[in-house]
Amino acid sequence: MREHGSSSCLCAVLVVFVAAPLAAQPAASVAWVSSVVQYPLEAAELDSLPPEVIARLEAAGMTLNRAARRLESPELPLVGFWFELGPDGRRFMADERGYLETPTARPSTNVKVYAQASDLLPVAVVPSIRFVPEGQEPSPTLVTFEYRPIANMSPEAGVPVADLKLDHRSVGARIMKALFQFPFPTPPASCVLACPRGACCLDYDAPHGNHVRYKRPTPPTCGIPAVYNFIDSTCYGWTFFKPGRACLLEKAILQFVGPSCVTNHKYRYCQTMDEKAFAVSPAISTVASGGRVEIVVRNRTPGNTTCVSFNRNPGSAGAMELRAGAPRIVRSGACGGYELEHFDDRGKKHINDATVAFKAPVLPANTCEETFVIALASGGIDKTSTIKVTNPTCVSRNWSGSFDCSVEVSGAGYSHKESQHWELEGKPRIEGPRAIYTATWTANGDGSYTSMNTVQSRHAEWHVEAIARPEIVFFTRASDQKLVVKQWSAQKRVKGGVKGYQQLTVSGKRKRPGPIVGEAFERLLPVLAGAPDVTRFSGEDPITGAGKEGLMQPAGAQRRGQCSWNLSRAPQPEGPGEDL
């Protein structure tokens, strides 16, 4: 069984059928683990089963293996059990399909299996687990439990301890032999066990029974109808037909030292569990640097705790807040992070809805945003809560302003004038340390060109008009911690941004004018760099000498102009620690 806190108990008998041992699985691997519950029968028990009883058991999904003298449950995924892979004690949960996934290579031999993430004693040691590379379909590793009934799922004070430690084989033989002699005589009133306000395990609500809770296992006049009401009851289903096998490892089932139903499920009974009831809220949230987000975890699965770890924890270290009192969240190497308890040992109560707080790190001035993905797992179900931590005082935020470039190009018979303007728009898109602003870019200008020789002349005129939305990035350069501003997107090119006409004159005769259609090109901006705490960039950069600028520009044409910029960072009203 397992140990939680100061409670301890013995292990169930497990048989595991596996192929040849495998040393270790490759990175990003998957395995599938299934389970079968076997009910060994003595010869006398097997002989006592009439055909109609066998038919009833098989109709309920059981298989009678005469050669091996046992009843067998259906093979189901072993959901929600925890597998310790490697010497560091890290445990991985089998999900609701029974799949066991690991992101990196882990040892897969002599694997300890635990019913709960926090258990100190394993319920089994599996010789090897068949892992295959991610994307392939694994064959199952089968875990087989042996089962014998009869005891009291909710033992009351005053029930003799000896009644809970009877030899299960002799009791089982006597009960099974008499069990199917139904209808049995109505048990005396002394056999009936009260269930005040529903505070007992539903191990007596079988559809074919009379829904009365009887004492078990002795005397037979009480025990026989108790077992009859147990088969196909709620607890029976949690043992044989629900993948989590949540009630299998209890004192009432194993017949030796182990927890009762209410202890096994941490102050609740199996009828209050739901293998699908695991939810996390909020799934996505945003918080300011140094702030706090509360995550509500609703867990009614057989898992008594929820494992909490970071799937993604970049740069700065986030943390889950440790709380005094109940429910507690404690650091856990087995979970690879933390373990959230859904119970209060002092108050002896279960807590379905538990709240844990994520404490966001205080981001450095050069980091605008970090994203944390918190993984939560219990009962075979995985959920995530994605938290975006923003830095309101990040040096790359809250910038506004513009760039302007104007140039005149002149040459023999050639003239081109063009102005380009970039205006930062609103809030940036944050990608880690980068703040990426969208800008509105416009280009306007005019030009003309006249050329001639002894045979012909050509005259052209054009107008430039274009608009686009490039991106400009602000980031802190790691090498010198300076704040850098530069173009982020590829150079914008606007087809049809230049339009005009040209006319040829040949031997004194004018030809019909023809259209000119060309592309307008975004020019390259200067790269700006300033101190880490700079709040303003302003300046200008001359444009001189030769260089391609306009349409039809002849060799030797000269440029004259400048680029200027005026950017400023506004103060941010929100301070660190405030929720956005």
Q: What is the pLDDT of residues 195-245, one digit of tens each?
A: 877 678 888 887 777 888 887 655 667 766 777 777 778 887 887 777 777
- pLDDT confidence band for 315 (50 / 70 / 90): very low
What number is the average pLDDT over the span 7-26? Answer: 35
Residue 484, pLDDT above cutoff 90? yes
Can you give the pLDDT at residue 280?
A: 95
What number is the average pLDDT over the span 561-577? Answer: 75
Can you give the pLDDT at residue 539?
A: 95
Q: Which of 149-158, 250-259, 533-542, 545-554 has the lowest mean pLDDT?
A: 149-158
What does 268-324 look like in DSSP terms, one character per residue?
Answer: S-GGG--TT-EEEE-SEEEEETT-EEEEEEEE-SS-SEEEEEEEE--SSPPEEPP-S
- pLDDT confidence band for 488 (50 / 70 / 90): very high
Can you give the pLDDT at residue 23?
A: 41
Q: Which of 183-187, 195-199, 440-444 has the lowest mean pLDDT?
A: 183-187
Q: Which of 171-180, 270-279, 465-474, 506-515 has the lowest mean pLDDT?
A: 171-180
Select from 572, 138, 577 the least CA-distant residue to 398.
Answer: 572
- Top pLDDT among 391 and 31 is at 31
Do 159 and 121 form a contact (C-beta atoms < 8 A)? no
Tokens read off for 73: 């449950």
- Top pLDDT among 426 and 392 is at 426
Q: Which of 249-253, 485-489, 545-549 has the lowest mean pLDDT?
A: 249-253
Can you give the pLDDT at residue 119?
A: 82
Select from 150, 144, 165, 121 the least CA-distant residue to 253.
Answer: 150
Helix (H) or strand (E) holding 427: strand 414-431
Q: The domain 278-390 belongs to what CATH superfamily?
A: ntegrin, alpha v. Chain A, domain 3 (2.60.40.1510)
Percent of the chain predicted with pLDDT > 70 = 79
pLDDT in tens, 89-112: 889 999 988 899 988 878 888 898
CA torsion sign, 484 to 489 to 491 to 494? negative
Q: What angle do helix axes 168-179 and 220-230 make, rounded to 10 degrees?
A: 80
Can you give the pLDDT at residue 255?
A: 37
Q: How far apart are CA 126 and CA 149, in angstroms?
A: 25
Residue 50, pLDDT above cutoff 70? no
Q: How far is CA 138 from CA 25, 33, 101, 129, 134, in A?
A: 12, 9, 11, 10, 9
SS in 3 state form for 510-562? Answer: ECCCEEEEEEEECCCCCCEEECCCCCEEEEEEEEEECCCCCCCCCCCCEEEEE
- Predicted TM-score (pTM) of the model is 0.64
- Top pLDDT among 500 and 158 is at 500
Among 58-62, 243-247, 418-422, name the most confident range.
418-422
Q: Where in the chain is the domain with CATH 2.60.40.1510?
A: 278-390
**Strands 337-341 vs 381-390: parallel, antiparallel or unpaired:** unpaired
Mean pLDDT of the chain: 79
Do 464 and 444 form a contact (C-beta atoms < 8 A)? yes
Can you give the pLDDT at residue 299?
A: 95
Residue 168, pLDDT above cutoff 80? no
- pLDDT confidence band for 75 (50 / 70 / 90): confident
Can you give the pLDDT at residue 316?
A: 52
Q: How far is CA 285 from CA 37, 225, 372, 413, 428, in A?
A: 43, 54, 10, 63, 19
What number is the average pLDDT over the span 525-553? Answer: 91
Can you give the pLDDT at residue 148?
A: 59
Among 72-86, 225-239, 347-361, 462-476, name the most confident range.
462-476
Residue 436, pLDDT above cutoff 80? yes
- pLDDT confidence band for 8 (50 / 70 / 90): very low
Residue 59, pLDDT above cutoff 60? yes
Residue 443, pLDDT above cutoff 90? yes
